[in-house]
Amino acid sequence: MKNTVSTLLSQKQSGKKITMLTAYDYTTARIEDECGVNSILVGDSLGMVMLGYDNTLPVTMEDMLHHTKAVSRGAKNAFVVADMPFMSYQTSVYDAVVNAGRLIKEGGAQAVKLEGGAEVCEQIKAIVDSSIPVVGHLGLTPQSVNVFGGFKVQGKNYERAAKIIDDALLIQEAGACAVVLECIPAKLAEIITKELTIPTIGIGAGNACDGQVLVYQDMLGLTTGHTPKFAKKFADAGALMREGFSAYIQETESGSFPADEHTYSVDDDIIEHIKKERGKNE
Ligand code: KIV
């Protein structure tokens, strides 16, 4: 059964933790879905983990649509949330509604996610009024990396912490169906989770949140270089891939691949016939 906004809300109410993972392609979405993840986020993190940019700012609506379409085909049960890329909603309420509509109508997502608090409430309200569920995103909002001066923990002083709480309440009031809390102190996330009636989904925000989300490349050991401390490595798929690629190269170079069991056969008399025919023409 396809998960919906109501599934996530009832999980908050019953205390059953919500599981969300990113995916950007059909195969990964299908595997996550078969494992029973509640929700799949087509994050604009795809700019970094799929396209190799330094941050999420260059990601376009066309990038998001391309990947959202693939994920939607693979997610039979999971609730698919698509990120609205940088400058697809900040520019105007009209742009926000049109671009959110494309992610649902063309991309096949069930909800959109956008970053920010008070400053995007008008956009959230207008999108929700167009019958599109919106997930908010507060704390370390990567599209504001140039304002933050890097990917840093947010809400560490009183003013910043109070602003995140206020923003959470405002986006709930504007109609958001859930909110991602990224890289904020666990105690702050706990206060927000208790105050809100909508689910909180944490990433680097402790275990009091109603659910968790991780970038799948981080949790499968596929990212290289610095990974944040909250990105627990649940499996080392990177090592498995290296092992597989190296074995393929070695066996192909040595000629042991393909072996008989990887090869198609044909009746000998057909080959004899072909050889005879070709001999005639030489
Ligand atoms: O883009 C993304 O993957 C995200 C998660 C980090 C929550 O927004």
pLDDT digits 0-9 by tens, 77-112: 999 999 999 999 999 999 999 999 999 999 999 999
Say yes or no to pLDDT of 282 above 70.
no
Catalytic residue among 122, 182, 277, 282: 182
pLDDT tens figures, 243-272? 999 999 999 999 999 999 999 999 999 999
Specify the ligand 1 atom closest to the Cα of 213. 7
The rounded mean pLDDT for the chain is 97
Q: Whole-prediction pTM value?
A: 0.96
Query: What is the CATH code of the structural domain delimited by 5-235?
Result: 3.20.20.60
Q: Is 22 in the pocket of ligand 1 (CB under 6 A)?
A: yes
Question: What stretch(es) of the chain map to CATH 3.20.20.60?
Answer: 5-235
Q: What is the pLDDT of residue 281?
A: 59
Give pLDDT, residue 280.
72
* 43 Cα: distance to centroid of ligand 1 (angstroms): 5
The ligand 1 atom at the shortest distance from the C-alpha of residue 115 is 8
Q: Whose CA is nearest to atom 8 of ligand 1?
A: 43
3 lines ligand 1 (CB under 6 A): no
> Exposed, middle or buried: residue 25 (CB in 10 Å: 0-12, 13-18, 19+)?
middle
Confidence of residue 63 (pLDDT cuts 50, 70, 90): very high
Banded pLDDT at 225 (limits 50, 70, 90): confident
pLDDT at 226: 83
pLDDT of residue 227: 86
Chain segment 156-207, per-residue pLDDT in tens: 999 999 999 999 999 999 999 999 999 999 999 999 999 999 999 999 999 9
Ligand 1 atom at shortest distance from the alpha carbon of 182: 7
Mutate to test the pocket of ligand 1, among 68, 86, 113, 227 (most ligand atoms within 8 A of CB): 113
Residue 88 near ligand 1, beta carbon < 6 Å: no
Tokens matching residue 131: 């019958």
Active site residue 182: yes
Q: Whose CA is nearest to atom 5 of ligand 1?
A: 43
Mutational test site, ligand 1, from 19, 20, 28, 44, max ligand atoms within 8 Å of CB: 44
Percent of the chain scoring above 90 in pLDDT: 96
What does the pLDDT look like over 121-170, one tens digit per residue? 999 999 999 999 999 999 999 999 999 998 999 999 999 999 999 999 99
Mutate which of 180, 201, 219, 227 for ligand 1? The one with the most ligand atoms within 8 Å of its CB, which is 180
Q: Cβ(76)–Cβ(66) under 8 Å?
A: no
